Amino acid sequence: MSLLRQYSRYPAPDLGRYRRFVVAGSHVGWVKPELASELSGRPDIFELSAGDLHMHAGLATPEARSAAMAKVLHALRGQGRVPGWRDELYPVTQNFGETPLLVMERAAAPLFGVLAYGVNLNGFVGRGWEMKIWVARRAPTKSVDPNMLDLIVGGGQPLGLSPVENLLKECQEEAGIPPEIAELAQPAGIITLLIEAGEGLRVGQQFNFDLELPERFRPQNQDGEVAGFELMPVSEVMHRLRSADEFMYDIALVLIDFLIRHGFIGPEERDYLPLIAGLRRPIPFAASVPA
């Protein structure tokens, strides 16, 4: 079956059905119209203008905006509308690395369609069709995608760490990969996410890394978020991507990107070009080439 099945799990959203979310003049996300109307009932914090939802111009500093957003999100949380609350603050910017316009709870990012960043590690052993990829089964207690298949290491990009620093931290916590091995990981590009999640829009850019692990290495989860690890032959990974939806959606994209970069999928693959196009759906406001 075509690997395109993975993309069809979440059709591309119709952005015209959302209100743009604008902070300090910068377009940073999308909000469902019903939520935008509701939020405009807090005129000290939000205002609707020309169809867009703006944070109130009177909230003139990142601190003021972050405090106001926290107030709003705690109220929504009280109504059970922010599933998977993590107590983890995400910076809101238009482009990666810019000074944050505000910070907000990570679990609420889809409600406002703001860009969330992450890191992923493809940890493998061997080369060519002898290659095996380390795969994790997520713990049944995870709030997002319990029991699904995942990479050996991956995680959201928190405030104050570079992607490489974050990767080293996650390598230690999620799989017990010591820094002297983890720092051999090579950056290998990105995938983007732009899908409708139940509560809003999931928008993401994820930094991918490859790491050839020593044969003798065995991952050991330190944070209780993993049920187990498996060293899966690359042919088996590809078969599962073709035939089922066992991997998390974003991880399926990361793996398809890996399989294409390493030559396991080539131009003779039906749908090679659409597969490549789907790895990085353009995010209208973020990191595009200057015209």
Characterize 28-60 residue by residue with b for buried, 16 or more Cβ atoms within 10 angstroms of its Cβ, and e for exposed.
bbbbbeebbeebbeeeebbbeeeeebbbbeebe
Nearer to its own copies, 64 or 287 (CB): 287
User: Residue 3 interacts with its own copies (CB under 8 A)?
Assistant: no
Compute CA distances 56 → 22, 69, 162, 285, whole Å. Answer: 10, 11, 30, 20
Provide, rounded to whole angstroms, the least separation between the CB of residue 134 and its own copies: 19
The single residue among 12, 57, 144, 244 that binds its own copies, judged by CB under 8 A, is: 12
Residue 200 near its own copies by CB under 8 A? no
Q: Does 123 bind its own copies (CB under 8 A)?
A: no
Segment 77-116, which members bind its own copies (CB under 8 A)? Answer: 95-96
Nearer to its own copies, 110 or 163 (CB): 163
Nearer to its own copies, 237 or 256 (CB): 256
Residue 265 CB, nearest approach to its own copies (Å):
8
Contact characters 231-260, its own copies, x per CB under 8 A: -----------------------------x
Could you say which of 188, 199, 212, 236 contacts its own copies (CB under 8 A)? 188
Taking CB under 8 A as the criterion, the residue among 207, 234, 250, 251 binding its own copies is 207
155 sits near its own copies (criterion: CB under 8 A): no
Span of 49-57, 105-113, 223-231, 267-275 interacting with its own copies by CB under 8 A = 267-275
Interface ranges with its own copies (CB under 8 A): 4, 7-8, 11-12, 95-96, 162-164, 186-190, 205, 207, 210, 260-263, 265-268, 272-274, 276-278, 280-282, 286-291
